[in-house]
Structure 1
Amino acid sequence: MEGQSADLISSLLPLVALFAIFYFLIIRPQQKQAKNHKQMIAELKKGDKIVTNGGLMVEITKVDEDNLIVKNHDNTEMKLVKEFVAKKLD
């Protein structure tokens, strides 16, 4: 019996190590990036320039709870869902 439990532990150890490596290289950085993106979206305000997931560079004219009203370079206004903000321009 003792040989079988030691054999089981030694066979599961590489699997546990592989999961730990996978967690620290893939899952954890992805969660951190998602948290930073959510914080960036929460801090958006009127006058900020952003890039949408579609590649549009626009300026925020109004911030609603779930949406942003943005102005394009030709002064046309559009409604944008906050989750589609890719990044904020400095």
Structure 2
Amino acid sequence: MDFFISDALAQSGGQPGAGLTGLIFPIALIVIFYFLLIRPQQKRAKEHKKLVENLSKGDEVLTNGGIVGRISDVGDTYANLTLAEGVDVRMQKSAVAQVLPKGAMKAGLDKADAALKDDSDKGGKSK
């Protein structure tokens, strides 16, 4: 039955205070994880919750899927997003990534139209 218990471990009489030194590393690791990972994530989650609660009709938003549109109706958990004239999408409010400045949607469409016009003027050939 001696092969189940290592003789070296059975005969060593642990040093007093060694347990406290062994706890310093795990505690330091938990503190580092808290300040580098957990705390910033909680801060971002709190900011996103505040953003979602403050959504209102007429806000121009960017969704997590990359869709840009204007909010036409807001409910408790859902919002209607107008992408273009006559194109409405119903989505969860939590899918909003950020609120864009007023007029950003129109400016983006004008820039895209100008790029398409320049491309068609060059004969449709891209670089």
Could you tell me which runs of 5 or more consecutive residues in structure 2 were left unpaired when the two chains were aligned.
1-12, 102-127
Distance 1:54 1:77 in 2: 15
| Aligned counterpart for 1:8 among listed residues 13, 19, 24 | 19
Distance 1:9 1:74 in 2: 68
SS at match of 2:73: strand
Q: Percent identity?
A: 36
Distance 1:18 1:31 in 2: 19
Q: TM-score, normalised by structure 2?
A: 0.66
Listed as ranges, the matches of 1:4-83 within 5 Å are 4=16, 6-83=17-94
Question: Which string of whole-angstrom CA distances, capped at 9 and with x for unpartnered residues, describes residues 39-86 of structure 1?
Answer: 000001000000111100010001011100110034411101111111
Larger CA Rg, structure 1 vs 2: 2
SS at match of 1:72: strand
Q: C-alpha displacement at 1:7, in angstroms?
A: 0.4
Higher RCO by CA contacts (8 Å cutoff, separation 6 or greater): 1
Could you tell me which runs of 5 or more consecutive residues in structure 1 were left unpaired when the two chains were aligned.
none
Distance 2:86 2:49 in 1: 27
Q: TM-score, normalised by structure 1?
A: 0.91
Q: Counting strand residues as a fraction of each chain, which structure ranks higher? A: 1
What RMSD in Å do the two structures reach over aligned CA positions? 1.6
Q: Number of residue pairs matched?
A: 89
